Amino acid sequence: MKCHVPGPNVKVLGRTVHALARFGDELYVESLADCVLLRTLNAAESAYAVVKFSKNFFSYFNYNYYSTEDNEGLKCKISMKSALHTFKSPTHMDKQVENLEIKLDPESCKLIFQLRCKHGIVKTHFVSILDCKAMQAVYTKDLVPNRITSPHKILSEALSNFQSSDDQVTVEVSSQNMLLRNYIDTLADLSKVIRTQVTLKPAEFDGYTIGADTMITFTLKEFKALLAFAEALSLPIQIHFETTGRPVVFIVHNGSTFEAHFVLATSKADNASQITTQNTTHNERTKRKDVSSSNHSARKKPNLNTDISKCLEEDSHLFNFIHIPEEHPVAVSTDGNVGNNNPQIENNMDCDVILPSPTAKALIRRVFKRCFEQTIDLTNIQGTVLAEDSDPDT
């Protein structure tokens, strides 16, 4: 094979390689009589991409330049990293590269990319061929009941509402609308997950044909990659799909020079975790409220004695300064009646001061009773006391 790619088309080829690099680690190149095919497959075999470049995409095209047989073209597999190294910056390649020549060296088994840049600069990349074989995926896109043609901007803006941690997206279509929401595993903690849902009306699409209401789930990484590819080329996206378990096909083409198919495997969404009705939302909120209440009750009832638990319920702080009212001396009259030396005590009872609970006071005095005992016994002191206590209460 030998072909020449003009400068403006080198940018398209570079963006194609960068888009395929987000799908797989190996690039399959195959030349036919009327086109060149670039294919790749991810490691999980759940995403497949193929891009077809027609003969009019090239300024010169010979599919069996080095072949001895007329009906045999190039079939090889190369590393995707090597292809990325050739197209490092596709954004500015159309301004720097005047022509790109792709040819096969049969003696060294290498695929040669020769870029002729401005000011007479020539860059040559020799890419080793890993294997001489082609790859083909089996899928259908013509007989599916559901077909949607969407501008790339609509889907890109819808996906901008999702979190970067979301791995899969669920698409639910009906004749009235399309729902996009992030897929949530049933084992995930719902209190730590953000649920996102975007509703799109048929009027927002260029074409909207739904033959059967369907809900499919596919990976979000490859979906964003093909959206970025369509956005870079300013082309719409065609979506063809059937039902759950059947692949969904995304098509990006310009009608004359190239056509790209991105095929993603679909899985069945778990209805128990994906239903977005108000009843489900209410049940989830009630469940979280019950869990929070049970956790609060568990924290509020520690495994302690009854008196200590009662004290902790009255004051949740373990180390808290509690005001204990000062005890006043009580005088006993000669007739045996108990009297009060301070006549203002009764008046203090009418104030707004809230005294501590007697139970808590008695408990604190019992726990810290050594703090209220006198440290000096005056009867055991021999001799004359030179400095007496100024306050008899202390």
More confident residue, 390 or 170: 170
Predicted pLDDT of residue 142: 84
Instruction: Enumerate the CATH 3.70.10.10 domain ranges in the chain, comma separated.
Output: 1-137, 144-249+262-300
pLDDT confidence band for 336 (50 / 70 / 90): very low
Predicted pLDDT of residue 74: 80
Contact, 237 vs 250, CB < 8 A?
yes
Which of helix, strand or coil describes residue 53? strand
Does 279 score more than 80 pLDDT? Answer: no
pLDDT confidence band for 164 (50 / 70 / 90): confident
Does 35 score more than 80 pLDDT? Answer: yes
Does 372 score more than 80 pLDDT? Answer: no
Q: What is the mean pLDDT of residues 221-228?
A: 93
Does 238 score more than 90 pLDDT? Answer: yes
Q: What are phi and psi of 228, to 5 degrees?
A: -65, -35
Predicted pLDDT of residue 53: 95
Predicted pLDDT of residue 321: 41
Predicted pLDDT of residue 91: 76
- List strands edge to edge, sheet with 178-182: 197-200, 178-182, 168-173, 214-219
Does 269 score more than 90 pLDDT? Answer: no
Q: Would you state the structure tokens that stand for residue 358, as one six-digit string?
A: 């007697």
Contact, 255 vs 215, CB < 8 A?
no
Mean pLDDT of the chain: 77
Contact, 252 vs 16, CB < 8 A?
no
**Total Cβ atoms within 10 A of residue 69:** 7
Q: Strand 207-210 relative to strand 197-200: parallel, antiparallel, unpaired?
A: unpaired
Range with lowest mean pLDDT among 41-50, 130-139, 180-189, 303-312: 303-312
CATH of 1-137, one of 3.70.10.10, 3.30.1950.10, 2.60.120.560, 3.40.50.300: 3.70.10.10
Does 159 score more than 70 pLDDT? Answer: yes
H helix or E strand, kind and range, residue 222: helix 220-233
Using CA atoms, how far residue 292 sits from 71, 186, 193, 285, in Å, is: 72, 20, 17, 10
Predicted pLDDT of residue 301: 42
Counting every residue written for the chain, the total comes to 394
More confident residue, 46 or 335: 46
Q: Would you state the structure tokens that stand for residue 344, as one six-digit string?
A: 């203002």
What pTM, to 2 d.p., does this model score?
0.67
CA geometry: angle 299, 305, 308, nearest 5 deg: 75
Tell me the pLDDT tens digit for each residue of 59-72: 999 887 766 555 67
Does 154 score more than 80 pLDDT? Answer: yes
Contacts with 36 (C-beta within 8 Å, 6 or more apart), sequence order = 1, 3, 29, 30, 52, 53, 57, 58, 61, 63
Tell me the pLDDT tens digit for each residue of 67-113: 655 567 788 899 999 999 988 878 778 788 889 999 987 777 889 99
Contact, 100 vs 87, CB < 8 A?
no
What is the percentage of the chain residues whose pLDDT exceeds 70?
65
In angstroms, the CA 127 to CA 90 distance is: 18
Q: Would you state the structure tokens that stand for residue 328, as one six-digit string?
A: 């006043």
Using CA atoms, how far residue 365 sits from 318, 321, 322, 373, in Å, is: 16, 14, 12, 10
SS3 letters for 133-200?
A: CCCCCCCCCCCCCEEEEECHHHHHHHHCCCCCCCCEEEEEECCCCEEEEECCCCCCCHHHCCCCEEEE
In angstroms, the CA 211 to CA 64 distance is: 44
**Total Cβ atoms within 10 A of residue 187:** 6
Say which residue the tokens 């209190």 belong to.
191
Does 150 score more than 90 pLDDT? Answer: yes
In angstroms, the CA 30 to CA 304 distance is: 77
Predicted pLDDT of residue 310: 45
pLDDT confidence band for 393 (50 / 70 / 90): low
Predicted pLDDT of residue 184: 81
Contacts with 214 (C-beta within 8 Å, 6 or more apart), sequence order = 146, 172, 173, 241, 242, 243, 244
In angstroms, the CA 83 to CA 125 distance is: 9
Predicted pLDDT of residue 345: 41
- Which stretch, 148-157, 273-282, 325-334, 349-358, has highest mean pLDDT? 148-157
Tell me the pLDDT tens digit for each residue of 285-303: 455 555 455 554 444 444 4
Q: Strand 330-332 relative to strand 338-340: parallel, antiparallel, unpaired?
A: antiparallel
Using CA atoms, how far residue 50 sits from 104, 152, 178, 217, 294, in Å, is: 21, 19, 27, 21, 55
CATH fold for domain 144-249+262-300: Proliferating Cell Nuclear Antigen (3.70.10)
Predicted pLDDT of residue 104: 83
